[in-house]
Amino acid sequence: MKSLRAISKHTRHTLLYWFGRAAFALIPLLPRGAGLLLFGLLGDLAFLIPHREKRLTVEHLRFIFGSSWPEKKIRGTARRVYRSLGKNTFDAIKLRSMTDEAFNRIVRHSDLTELRAAVNEGRGVFAITAHLGCFEMLLQFVARHGMPCFAIGRKMFDPRIESLVRTLRSGPGIDYLNRDDSTRGVIRLLKEGKVFGVLIDQDIRAEGIFGTFLGQRAFTVSGPMKAAMRLKVPAFVFTTARRPDNSHYISISPRLAFADTGDFESDLERNVQAANDVISAAIMQSPEQWVWMHSRWRQQPETPQ
């Protein structure tokens, strides 16, 4: 017999699944202005309800900004985090249904010349990014600009919700692989010259190193950078943020100049830190658009460095 806790968890997943199904069906039909207003209000409502993620959002903002921001600003930013999540959830789905012309009116970007040149080398490209702004539309952006791309994801807690995520992260010119059987697939798709989108801004169970993130020691996933170095695949850092007019701006860093001193582990740390620095700077510019509810600083090195 299922425990009450298990039943409750299943019920939450079911509600989330049907909310997602409804969102995929209704969002393409809503005018963008009205949809952003509605989902922004839903984000405000989510913030008003006491829950663990809200508490962590406030705690983490206080951890980084507590010495320089008053409490009122910290809590105000936490609320805007949830409003941004609501709007970005809407746009992640809405932008998928738009024509290229409409998409490009809303999604602006830095120069693509260096990125296109790297893609044309034919070895693939690592697009290193973060859970900042409407990051879910980055694969759409790359594919719509004529550069086939792919991402990988872990098996999720509920196959129904995983199917929604797979739908969101798939489309013309986009492949989505399962993490469990991805190694050969990743190498194959890179050899086909595709852009590999990877998120490195969360503390997850994966190979990683300790570096600095937003000024604090943090465990950072290093596998993508290690692969880029060993395979000699070009890498860039992508960040995106919503602007006051509700357009999005995607910043693409210059091609990362990998440290190559002959000490691979030391070079790896320096290269991962270079990516962390770009992401941290982007978050500092738009702190209300990052996922502060994640336990980014959960792991710490045994000996302070």
Question: Mapped to the 3 state alphabet, what secondary structure does 168-233 carry?
Answer: HCCECCEEEEEHHHCHHHHHHHHHCCCEEEEECCCCCCCCEEEEEECCEEEEEECHHHHHHHHHCC
**What's the whole-number mean pLDDT along residues 8-37?**
85
pLDDT digits 0-9 by tens, 23-75? 888 999 999 999 999 999 999 999 999 999 999 999 999 999 999 999 999 99
What are the phi and psi torsion angles at 170 (to 5°)? Answer: -125, 170
pLDDT digits 0-9 by tens, 68-111? 999 999 999 999 999 999 999 999 999 999 999 999 999 999 99
Q: What is the pLDDT of residue 303?
A: 46
Element (H, E) at 46: helix 32-48
User: Which range has the worst mean pLDDT, 1-10, 92-101, 163-172, 210-219?
Assistant: 1-10
Q: What is the pLDDT of residue 305?
A: 44
pLDDT digits 0-9 by tens, 144-195? 999 999 998 777 667 777 777 777 888 899 998 877 666 788 899 999 999 9
For the domain spanning 4-289, the CATH number is: 3.40.1130
- In this prediction, what percent of the chain has a pLDDT beyond 70? 94
